[in-house]
Amino acid sequence: MFSNKRNRFLTIFLVFFIGVFAMSLAGGVNFSSFSFGTATDEAVAASLVDMGAAPSSFADLAERLKPAVVNIRTTKTVTTGGMGQFSQPFGRGGPFDQFFGDEFFRRFFGDIPQRQFKQRSLGSGFVISKDGYIFTNYHVVEKADEILIKLSDEREYEAKVVGRDKNTDIALLKIEPDNSLPVATLGDSSKLRVGDWVMAIGNPFGLSQTVTAGIVSAKGRVIGAGPYDDFIQTDASINPGNSGGPLFNLSGEVVGINTAIVAQGQGIGFAIPVNMAKTILPDLKEKGKVIRGWLGVSVQDITEDIAKNLKLKDQKGALVADVFKGDPAERAGIEPKDVIIAVNGRPVKDTHDLLRAVAEKNVGQTVKVTVLRNEKQKVFNVKIAERPERETLARLGTSTELFGMVVQEITTEIARHLGLSSTDGVIVSEVRKGSPAEKSGISAKDVVLEVNQVKIISIHDYETEMKKADAQGGALLWILRGGEKLFVAVEK
């Protein structure tokens, strides 16, 4: 009996399926109209987006967002030629200058006139206000003599730089449009999750209004670009010319500013979180630069050995290596060997985290800085000061003078601000006029790596070797200058 019922059921089901299939061939049935349960097509699509599933197309989103994205063309003047071109690779005071000099090249090659030419480059940006304010990268417009903005409707305008911040690689431009402009909505980058879909629009290799899509590959990347690195990593294709362009989420909001690529890799690009740009926007617009908070300490990350030596439970926090005299931290009572673990109750994971936390504070604001000292917590009320410029930072810290050059230790802070990959060596902060150092071509910001073929790690190493050299009447220095290494002989 059960077998007959089952056969009858299967027969009915088969007849129904064949009938529906035949009707579909005749155009009588639209399978897309079938629904299971109570979910509609729109609800299913929305749930797929919520789960991070790929949308069926980015076309509608791209069409809506393109008008707010602009192409940027810049022109700057570059000078070449002259005697300096021979010694430039070695820097002033390099081997050619020491042993040959300009007179040698003039005698054998004649005078080489300096020439100027216009260097052109491309970038991207996006409109953030109807009256013509535009976000882009600092490096896109750095030293530009002329900046031209091209809108998606082919209109062109000259732009001026209203504000710039090299530390975050962000610049704010302004044009004077004929009418109101389409605007890109700034989103909340803190809500991004690894795996979220994102879309980039820009001007790679001069190919205007190019759209690429991918996902958020990682967050909080530190790539050595500056002291406030906090990049969004994405596999949305980013190439030269995309710099300064927007990274959108699926809601059409800007969540990042595309800024860097890994030349050797594919599918590895980086964007500045838009929340960082929103934070500094008022300063860029009103002051032309960013005013950041400053504690007045030199800090370093805590290694496993340091944690063991200081009897710390873990490696979280920022170890105070030095406290600058007269600055907020010293006035508040913070000392070297203190471990800063929180600012206004917000935990500090490492030096990078501390730097960002303090930079966000307003000048004159009093914050509670929690430290570990001798295994006990202490809280200090610190009144935030204005962060010094790079040149001032290079003069802070322990220093010494020999041969007419003032050098100082390279703190983690200084290394970050001057783009150094290591704190080894000492940095020249000042060269006395008429001194042996000046005559030998030593310049401020030179990094001394070796003295008489002895590697220099600390200022103590430097003083020891330079005192020996002073007794001998001179020294051979191996220095780092502008990314290049060279030898310089200094004599009394």
Higher-scoring residue by pLDDT: 310, 253:
253
**Which residues touch 353 (CB under 8 Å, ≥6 apart)?**
318
Which residue in 124, 189, 243, 429 is the catalytic one? Answer: 243
pLDDT at 249: 97
Lowest mean pLDDT among 89-98, 334-343, 419-428: 89-98
pLDDT at 109: 54
Element (H, E) at 19: helix 2-25
pLDDT at 144: 92
Residue 242 · residue 121 · CB < 8 Å: no
Q: Does 169 participate in catalysis according to the annotation? A: yes
The answer, yes or no, to whether residue 85 has pLDDT greater than 60, is: no
**Which residues touch 252 (CB under 8 Å, ≥6 apart)?**
61, 64, 65, 185
Domain 293-386 has CATH 2.30.42.10: yes
pLDDT tens, residue by residue, 436-477:
898 889 988 899 999 998 999 888 788 888 888 888 888 899
- pLDDT, mean of residues 340-369: 91
pLDDT at 31: 31
Provide the percentage of residues in the chain whose pLDDT is more than 70: 77
418 exposed, middle or buried (CB, 10 Å; 0-12, 13-18, 19+)? Answer: middle
pLDDT at 137: 96
Lowest mean pLDDT among 88-92, 101-105, 136-140, 384-388: 88-92
Residue 422 · residue 436 · CB < 8 Å: no
Q: Does 251 participate in catalysis according to the annotation? A: no
Higher-scoring residue by pLDDT: 263, 178:
178
pLDDT at 86: 42
Which residue in 139, 230, 298, 461 is the catalytic one? Answer: 139
What CA–CA distance (Å, rounded) separates 402 from 97?
23
pLDDT at 485: 86
pLDDT at 265: 65
pLDDT at 149: 97
What CA–CA distance (Å, rounded) separates 98 from 23?
92
Lowest mean pLDDT among 3-7, 157-161, 249-253: 3-7
pLDDT tens, residue by residue, 311-331:
888 999 999 877 888 889 999
Q: Domain 59-289: give its CATH architecture.
A: Beta Barrel (2.40)
Provide the percentage of residues in the chain whose pLDDT is more than 90: 45
The answer, yes or no, to whether residue 299 has pLDDT greater than 80, is: yes
* Confidence label for 284 from pLDDT (cuts 50, 70 and 90): very high
Higher-scoring residue by pLDDT: 310, 150:
150
Reduce the DSSP state of residue 325 to 3 states and report it.
Answer: coil
152 exposed, middle or buried (CB, 10 Å; 0-12, 13-18, 19+)? Answer: middle
pLDDT tens, residue by residue, 26-41:
444 333 333 333 344 4
Q: What is the average pLDDT score of the chain?
A: 81
* Confidence label for 390 from pLDDT (cuts 50, 70 and 90): low
* Confidence label for 76 from pLDDT (cuts 50, 70 and 90): confident
What CA–CA distance (Å, rounded) separates 262 from 233?
11
The answer, yes or no, to whether residue 167 has pLDDT greater than 90, is: no
Beta strands in 269-317 (DSSP E): 269-273, 293-294, 297-300
Which residue in 97, 169, 230, 338 is the catalytic one? Answer: 169
pLDDT at 459: 80
* Confidence label for 423 from pLDDT (cuts 50, 70 and 90): confident
The DSSP code for 153 is T
The answer, yes or no, to whether residue 96 has pLDDT greater than 70, is: no
What CA–CA distance (Å, rounded) separates 442 from 242?
39
- pLDDT, mean of residues 119-142: 95
Q: Do domains 59-289 and 393-491 have the same CATH topology?
A: no
The answer, yes or no, to whether residue 216 has pLDDT greater than 70, is: yes
Rg of the chain taking only CA atoms, in angstroms = 30
Domain ranges of the chain: 59-289, 293-386, 393-491
- pLDDT, mean of residues 120-130: 95
Q: Does 33 participate in catalysis according to the annotation? A: no
* Confidence label for 92 from pLDDT (cuts 50, 70 and 90): very low
> What class has domain 393-491?
mainly beta
pLDDT tens, residue by residue, 247-281:
999 999 999 999 988 766 678 899 999 999 999 99
